[in-house]
Amino acid sequence: MPGSFLDSNIVLYLASEDLLKADRAQELVAEGGTISVQVLNEIANISRRKMGLSWAETRNFLLMIRGLLKVEPITIEIHDVGISLAERYQLSVYDSMIVSAALSAECDTLLSEDLQDGLLINGRLRVLNPF
Residue 113 pLDDT greater than 80, yes or no: yes
| Nearest alpha carbon to residue 113 among 100, 98, 101 | 98
Cβ count within 10 A of residue 99: 29
Contacts of residues 82-86 at CB distance under 8 Å and 24 or more positions apart, as own/partner, are 85/121, 85/122
pLDDT digits (tens, 9 = 90+) for 1-38: 479 999 999 999 999 889 999 999 999 999 999 999 99
CATH 3.40.50.1010 assigned to domain 4-128? The reply is: yes
Tell me how far apart the alpha carbons of residues 104 and 72 are, in angstroms, rounded to a whole number: 8
**pLDDT tens for each residue of 43-100:** 999 999 999 999 999 999 999 999 999 999 999 999 999 999 999 999 999 999 999 9
Average pLDDT, the chain: 95
Give percent of the chain with pLDDT exceeding 90.
96
d(CA 114, CA 110): 11
